[in-house]
């Protein structure tokens, strides 16, 4: 048995077929039983030496974690080998540094789904079951910041008025900020008029009772008693509603440290897909930074925060869709170091311009090794050398792996 890409045990049959079995580990002997959607694990007859007792009672039902039953050393080795194999598909080889991995209780943001509960005043809240729309109602979570876990009972009450319309399927996008919990709600039925005035008043009162910093509905403020903010480098950044953040602050710090080290000595830096400035502000301690992102609210927040960050070399912020209108090689003429951190789709159009620019050093940050490898191939073909990769296991007990890669001419 081997391990599949989504964290399933893979059994190869004599006729050439394969079975994917959630919960099984390489080297184990297991008994299967037929379920409604195929064979499932019934019993582990001979367990692997790397099998561990899952720390969360919801493991197996909840779809949030798939690897809690596997020891960290084995899981990380498997992730690195998957990364190496993905690079090999694009004929890439490089030094892979030891994995930076996060600890339980470090996640500062999560999307919690809400469904109707047994009473009108309390909803069920949790994560979806694996490969299902069914909700697993949780009373704890081993990966979330303890402040979010402590808020779960209050969030059940808060979510109840959001289920006013039978077609509503709310998701509470919860972020732990320096000023308390910030929640943006999506999935409330809008075509029938959205939340009624009474429901808005009720949910706002519950938000005040819960002590939230802010509650928004698809970006519109329902309640706010404090402006949610975070310290990023030397800056204090006021968060737009629903703003993107790295999931774990320790992982973000490790990625920023690697990027900053790689561009040390640069005279001018471009930070592309910069978001709220997780890399921008630390990089501006090294040299002036051109910060560009497609989100206008994020760029406005970054620009406003510059005034709170003394002693930087200067930041120029621009809102621009880098997929449709990437910075050209000519626009990058004065840039000698580029950091880019695109979404999962990667940044092939922008990378093509970076490849033709005069930048001597490039740092690629990615949450998708497959699109990263494609983009990296383009840089290598244009004369860059892939020096090293730092793997970052930000999503603990998942099959995902993020990375920071350093290129030089």
Which residue's entry shows tokens 């009720």? Answer: 202
| 85 Cβ neighbours under 8 A, 6+ residues apart | none
| 162 Cβ neighbours under 8 A, 6+ residues apart | 114, 123, 168, 170, 185, 188, 195, 199, 203
Q: Which two tokens stand for residue 98?
A: 């030891």
What percentage of the chain's residues is helix, strand, coil (to nearest 5)? 25, 30, 45
Q: Name the maximum alpha-carbon separation found in the chain.
A: 67
* Three-class SS state of 132: coil
Is residue 223 marked as binding?
Answer: no
Cβ-contact 10, 3 below 8 angstroms: yes
Is residue 273 marked as binding?
Answer: yes
Q: Which two tokens stand for residue 309?
A: 């960050």
Q: For the stretch 8-18, what's the b/e string if a residue is b when 16 or more beta carbons lie within 10 angstroms of its beta carbon?
A: bbbbeeeeeee
Is residue 341 marked as binding?
Answer: yes
Rounded to a whole number of angstroms, the distance between the first and last alpha carbons of the chain is: 42
Q: 312: how many CB neighbours lie within 10 A of its CB?
A: 20
Is residue 227 marked as binding?
Answer: no
- Enzyme catalytic residues: 367
Annotated binding site: 246, 273, 293, 341
Annotated binding site for S-adenosyl-L-methionine: 246, 273, 293, 341
């Amino acid at each position: 048995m081997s391990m599949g890409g989504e964290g399933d045990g893979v059994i190869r049959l004599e006729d050439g077929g394969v079975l994917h079995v959630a919960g099984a580990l390489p080297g184990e002997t297991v008994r299967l039983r037929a379920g409604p959607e195929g064979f499932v694990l019934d019993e582990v007859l001979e367990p692997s030496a790397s099998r561990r007792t899952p720390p969360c009672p919801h493991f197996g039902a909840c779809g949030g974690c798939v690897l809690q039953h596997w020891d960290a050393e084995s899981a990380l080795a498997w992730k690195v080998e998957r990364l190496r194999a993905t690079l090999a598909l694009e004929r890439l080889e490089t030094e892979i540094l030891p994995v930076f991995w996060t600890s339980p209780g470090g996640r500062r943001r999560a999307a919690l789904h809400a469904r109707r509960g047994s009473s009108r005043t309390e909803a069920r809240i949790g994560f979806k079951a694996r490969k299902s729309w069914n909700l697993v109602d949780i009373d704890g979570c081993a990966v979330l910041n303890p402040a979010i876990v402590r808020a779960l009972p209050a969030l059940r009450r808060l979510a109840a008025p959001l289920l006013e319309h039978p077609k509503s399927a709310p998701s509470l996008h919860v972020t732990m900020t320096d000023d308390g919990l910030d929640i943006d709600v999506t999935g409330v039925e809008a075509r029938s008029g959205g939340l009624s005035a009474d429901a808005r008043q009720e949910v706002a009162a519950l938000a005040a009772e819960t002590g939230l910093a802010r509650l928004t509905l698809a970006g519109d403020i329902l309640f706010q008693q404090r402006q949610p903010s975070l310290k990023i480098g030397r800056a204090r950044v006021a968060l737009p509603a629903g703003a993107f953040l790295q999931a774990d602050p320790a992982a973000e710090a490790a990625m920023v440290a690697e990027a900053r080290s790689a561009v040390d000595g640069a005279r001018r830096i471009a930070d592309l897909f910069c978001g709220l400035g997780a890399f921008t502000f630390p990089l501006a301690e090294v040299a002036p930074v051109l910060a560009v992102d497609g989100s206008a609210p994020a760029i406005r927040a970054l620009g406003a925060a510059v005034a709170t960050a003394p002693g930087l070399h200067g930041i120029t912020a621009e809102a621009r869709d880098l997929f449709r209108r990437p910075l050209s090689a000519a626009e990058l003429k004065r840039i000698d170091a580029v950091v880019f951190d695109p979404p999962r789709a990667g940044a092939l159009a922008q990378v093509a311009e970076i490849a033709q620019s005069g930048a001597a050093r490039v740092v690629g940050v990615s949450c998708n090794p497959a699109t990263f490898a494609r983009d990296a191939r383009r840089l290598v073909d244009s004369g860059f050398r892939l020096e090293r990769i730092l793997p970052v296991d930000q999503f603990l007990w998942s099959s995902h792996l993020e990375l920071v890669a350093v290129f030089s001419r």
